[in-house]
Chains A and B, each alone.
Chain A
């Protein structure tokens, strides 16, 4: 038989035995290495269980710790036995006890027989690949790593730091070019024996035994020296997560694996009964394969890594609670904030909803309650309009509203009467926020109110102070939101132009301009009203310049409507 299997086992012996029998059933000789850490009792039980198979050998046991030399020593040893005892073997396939052959073994044998001189070993130079763990790439080969990363992290890190500090650098023997790749390879007898029988082997060993993770570089580097033809890929499907630990396959991956088109998969959860049943069967049932779709596995695992490292923007939940600055999006979707518009226009909210198809809320941060659209007391996500609940955690309130209404753009009113101190910065720094302000428009309701003038004066002073502070925030250099600020005087000169700009930016439902204009409040006498405030010693400045003479600033209803001209 031309294919020999070297298998490294350290756990789940029942499963390993099943896989061994599967390989052996197709006539493949095996050399098995069992980790030194395995208790002798378990080891001898395993050996005994396999004693009925003729072409099985057990290699001398080494302590195999991840990232250390033991794994390579074990592999060398087992490979030597394979080459010595089974002369007819042409390809040696390195697998582990938790690997599972997906395609019939005969297919693999035929595949290799058709490529008698090809070595399948993933092998790339450090400069070309981004596989780094612990921030070490090239230094894997130029520093010494006598300490275990898993067990003696402190010493490991200190020793690396020390070597960096003194500028220590190892020389590579015979100027070899270090390569790395998956530890699961399939090499030809020629290449493998050349590596093992190399007169310089001791020298290479001395070097690689202090390299970090030599099982991913020893054979990968040396194969480059001797191979006639390298296919730089592993025949074993093995996916790694962002910590460099292999993804595990479960029963529900059955279809995925069926369609992977790979010969061997790693790593399989030992209790994945369905997988073992499905793949360790005879030729006939294993053959009922579906259309191969190997890309799907990549996508699924890439997504998993993305979910773990970047998460879903704008989501705050029990296992994603980013510190300030690391949110990767403060909210999940764009939204619009209007300040002063509903004061200046009598029917602004219904008008905006008609024009844009957005969800238009009233003052969400009003003191009495959150004024959700359509007067609802509870809205999407079962978010309550209770002011107490909202003010208990306003940031959660805002983020939840946006998250709950993904897919439907939200818009709400804000004004100096509202309770927004805690979310002011959150909105200002949010790239999803579009904030449009008509400063000083809060004076319009006061102007229309029936309160005593002294009260109006006091209220005006208070609102002006709040809005002035708010505008400072919106004008600060840290603002990331799309902010537009007009004074009221400026705005009513030509109100349609700014409105059109805002709505265009939102991506209006109506591309032909605004078919309808909102109705502006009657401002006759507003100038005089402001003058009266001034006369009382309160200086309203946020609304810009209004002349005291009546009739200068008529509502623009009677004027031309620029966007109605087609």
Chain B
């Protein structure tokens, strides 16, 4: 990597920071409880829209892991989610009616908030349908992980997105607020992932899973990316470049070992495919606020109208992190 390349990456990072600054004017603070944040707290950042039904379990799940404070951007929810979040004692809430797409799918807003409040904290960026699983997450709080990463001088922790889906039609079982979505969407594809290295950014580009298998079997190139680096010891100079798939400076993307060993990694259980999905896919198709002209949602809508079943004979039912470790989807690395 030459000086020129490095310089271009620096410019890219600067640009992301400037975008974040520009876009932050669209954010209006609803409740600001950031005064509660103590040094060493692990913070969660999220952007969402119309996710009220998911919020109770989402907050509960991450509180249990030991997240100290939630910093959430509400993008024009109309389902009462704004009020619900504003009442939570550990949530700081911003709201905006600006375009999700033009804030690069929320990245600009969160980059700003992370720079402002996340400096020197471990920050976790997840969507309300993503549930982080890391080695020993059933017995050790997230602080144990981040302390260990600190002592190992590691600044970022990778967690691949694992699409979860129900057995039977996606819309067969209705999801109730407060319910563990993994009770319904309990299944996943254990071994059909494709990895490529992105030479420019140094991150791995992972595709596959049920979405590639069912929605993109004829056009795999368009299948959504599953690699994510959601947990980062943030510094105000850092920036997510594209969703949480890529980070700058590039060194933060090296969450994998290239010499045959395994680094520690986690999984983001992606409980997207619930009964709420069908309606969401239709709506997003009209809004066209998602990546690449919502190509993903177009593919979904087509398939979902027909036969919304992702389950197959070889699907695996989720048990716990150890199962994912044995399947080789995540790794303990040298954490024991």
Q: Please give the residue numbers on chain A whose beta carbons come within 8 Å of chain B beta carbons, in ascending order.
A: 241-243, 245, 247-248, 250-252, 269, 271, 300-301, 303-305, 307-312, 315-323, 326-328, 378-384, 386, 388-389, 392-393, 396-397, 400, 403-404
Contact between chains at B194 and A307 (CB < 8 Å) = no
From the candidates B195, B255, B312, name the one contacting A396 in the complex (CB within 8 A). Answer: B195
A307 CA to B136 CA in the complex, in Å?
16
Task: List the B side residues contacting A311 at CB < 8 Å.
Answer: 257, 260-262, 331
Contact between chains at B192 and A400 (CB < 8 Å) = yes
Task: List the B side residues contacting A312 at CB < 8 Å.
Answer: 262, 328
A162 CA to B265 CA in the complex, in Å?
39
Contact between chains at A307 and B261 (CB < 8 Å) = yes
**Given known A-B contacts A320-B331, A393-B194, A250 and B139 have beta carbons under 8 A apart:** yes
What are 12 pairs between A and B in contact, CB < 8 Å?
A252-B139, A308-B257, A308-B333, A309-B334, A317-B160, A317-B265, A318-B255, A319-B331, A321-B256, A378-B314, A384-B213, A389-B217
A308 CB → nearest B CB, Å: 3
- Say yes or no: is B221 at the interface (Cβ < 8 Å to chain A): yes
Closest 4 A-B residue pairs measured CB to CB? A381-B191, A308-B334, A319-B265, A304-B336
- Say yes or no: is B219 at the interface (Cβ < 8 Å to chain A): yes
Contact between chains at B262 and A382 (CB < 8 Å) = no
Beyond the given pairs A241-B334, A317-B193, A389-B194, 5 more chain A to chain B contacts, judged by CB atoms under 8 angstroms and listed by A's residue number, are A245-B152, A316-B195, A319-B256, A319-B333, A404-B190
Task: List the A side residues contacting B196 at CB < 8 Å.
Answer: 393
B167 CB → nearest A CB, Å: 13
Give the contacts of B296-318 with A (CB-CB under 8 A).
312-316
From the candidates B139, B148, B314, B329, name the one contacting A379 in the complex (CB within 8 A). Answer: B314
A96 CB → nearest B CB, Å: 14
Task: List the B side residues contacting A300 at CB < 8 Å.
Answer: 336
Q: Which residue of B lies closest to A376 (CB)?
A: B313
Give the contacts of B84-139 with A (CB-CB under 8 A).
136, 139
Give the contacts of B238-288 with A (CB-CB under 8 A).
255-265
From the candidates A252, A307, A384, name the one contacting B332 in the complex (CB within 8 A). Answer: A307
Q: Which residue of B lies closest to A150 (CB)?
A: B153
From the candidates A305, A392, A400, name the one contacting B334 in the complex (CB within 8 A). Answer: A305
**Given known A-B contacts A252-B140, A271-B143, A321 and B258 have beta carbons under 8 A apart:** yes
Contact between chains at B334 and A382 (CB < 8 Å) = no
The SS class assigned to the A binding surface is mixed
Task: List the A side residues contacting B219 at CB < 8 Å.
Answer: 388
From the candidates B160, B262, B336, name the one contacting A301 in the complex (CB within 8 A). Answer: B336
From the candidates A303, A327, A392, name the one contacting B221 in the complex (CB within 8 A). Answer: A392
Contact between chains at B333 and A382 (CB < 8 Å) = no
Q: Which residue of A lies closest to B212 (CB)?
A: A389
B188 CB → nearest A CB, Å: 8
Task: List the A side residues contacting B227 at CB < 8 Å.
Answer: 318
Contact between chains at A386 and B217 (CB < 8 Å) = yes
Task: List the B side residues contacting A252 at CB < 8 Å.
Answer: 136, 139-140
A320 CB → nearest B CB, Å: 4
A271 CA to B143 CA in the complex, in Å?
9
A303 CA to B332 CA in the complex, in Å?
10
Contact between chains at B193 and A396 (CB < 8 Å) = yes
Contact between chains at A321 and B257 (CB < 8 Å) = yes
Contact between chains at B314 and A380 (CB < 8 Å) = yes
B 219-230 binary contact with A (CB < 8 Å = 1; else 0): 111000001000
From the candidates A304, A317, A378, name the one contacting B335 in the complex (CB within 8 A). Answer: A304
A392 CA to B265 CA in the complex, in Å?
25
- Say yes or no: is B189 at the interface (Cβ < 8 Å to chain A): yes
Contact between chains at B259 and A271 (CB < 8 Å) = no
Task: List the A side residues contacting B313 at CB < 8 Å.
Answer: 378
- Say yes or no: is B56 at the interface (Cβ < 8 Å to chain A): no
Task: List the A side residues contacting B207 at CB < 8 Å.
Answer: 392
Contact between chains at A318 and B158 (CB < 8 Å) = yes
Contact between chains at B328 and A403 (CB < 8 Å) = yes
- Say yes or no: is B147 at the interface (Cβ < 8 Å to chain A): yes
Task: List the B side residues contacting A323 at CB < 8 Å.
Answer: 258-259
Q: Which residue of A lies closest to B312 (CB)?
A: A378
Q: Which residue of A lies closest to B191 (CB)?
A: A381
Give the contacts of B187-207 with A (CB-CB under 8 A).
189-197, 204, 206-207
A301 CA to B141 CA in the complex, in Å?
20
Task: List the B side residues contacting A381 at CB < 8 Å.
Answer: 189-192, 314
A326 CB → nearest B CB, Å: 5
Task: List the A side residues contacting B192 at CB < 8 Å.
Answer: 381-384, 389, 400
Contact between chains at A248 and B148 (CB < 8 Å) = yes
Contact between chains at A309 and B261 (CB < 8 Å) = yes
In this complex, the member of A245, A250, A269, A321 whose beta carbon has the largest number of chain B beta carbons within 10 angstroms is A321
A260 CB → nearest B CB, Å: 14
In this complex, the member of A247, A311, A380 whose beta carbon has the largest number of chain B beta carbons within 10 angstroms is A311
A561 CA to B322 CA in the complex, in Å?
51
A368 CB → nearest B CB, Å: 13
- Say yes or no: is B181 at the interface (Cβ < 8 Å to chain A): no
- Say yes or no: is B18 at the interface (Cβ < 8 Å to chain A): no
A400 CA to B220 CA in the complex, in Å?
16
**Given known A-B contacts A304-B332, A378-B313, A386-B217, A400 and B193 have beta carbons under 8 A apart:** yes
Task: List the A side residues contacting B195 at CB < 8 Å.
Answer: 316-318, 321, 393, 396
**Given known A-B contacts A382-B213, A389-B220, A393-B194, A269 and B147 have beta carbons under 8 A apart:** yes
- Say yes or no: is B5 at the interface (Cβ < 8 Å to chain A): no
A237 CB → nearest B CB, Å: 14
Contact between chains at B212 and A322 (CB < 8 Å) = no
